[in-house]
């Protein structure tokens, strides 16, 4: 499928500053002034390595998500909703500590759920919805 154009108000977002999609999906889709990101996992884009430990994984996920948002014309300050997927809810406090440092001024709506398994057996994945204006 040609990703360059679905209609005049939809745009696929792709940046090398975040890991490439590991399946048939976009890093994000921009529709009018809204950005919908796919789930970000803690892959370091420059090396392809997975960060270790829940705090470092959360930090890498949010850096990756921030880079995708930047490529779309948005930023973490414009996020309206996040969904956090955790492999183990016992990691919630550690994840939340790092998450709070990225959303210190602006706190979007959020859901956090425990899941049985995540891609590449990572401990955390985060997706978001943001505005560009």
How far is Cα 85 from Cα 24, in angstroms, rounded to an integer?
A: 20
| Residue among 71, 50, 66, 77 at smallest CA distance from 126 | 66
3-state SS class at 99: helix
Q: What is the mean pLDDT of residues 90-111?
A: 97
Domains of the chain: 10-131 (3.30.1330.40)
For residue 86, the SS3 value is: strand
Sorting pLDDT into bands at 50, 70 and 90, what band is 8?
Answer: low
| pLDDT at residue number 102 | 98
Per residue in 18-35, pLDDT (tens digit) is: 999 888 999 999 999 999
Q: What is the mean pLDDT of residues 82-91?
A: 98
pLDDT of the residue at 95: 98
Residue 1 has pLDDT above 70, yes or no: no
For the CA atoms of 105, 123, 82, 3, the dihedral, rounded to the nearest 10 degrees, stands at: 120
CA atoms within 13 A on the CB side of 20: 7
Mark 111-123 as b/e (b = at least 16 C-beta within 10 Å). Answer: ebeeeeebeeebb
């Amino acid at each position: 499928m040609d990703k360059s154009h679905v209609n005049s108000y939809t745009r696929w977002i792709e940046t090398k500053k975040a890991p490439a999609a590991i399946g048939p999906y976009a890093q994000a889709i921009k529709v009018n002034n809204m950005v919908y990101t796919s789930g970000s996992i803690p892959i370091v884009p420059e090396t392809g390595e997975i960060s270790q430990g829940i705090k470092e994984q959360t930090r890498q996920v949010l850096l990756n998500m921030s880079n995708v948002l930047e490529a779309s014309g948005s930023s973490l300050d414009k996020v309206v909703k996040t969904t956090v997927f955790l492999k183990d809810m016992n990691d919630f406090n550690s994840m939340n500590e790092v998450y709070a440092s990225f959303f210190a001024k602006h706190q979007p709506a959020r859901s956090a759920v425990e899941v049985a398994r995540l891609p590449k057996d990572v401990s955390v994945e985060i997706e978001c919805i943001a505005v560009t204006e």
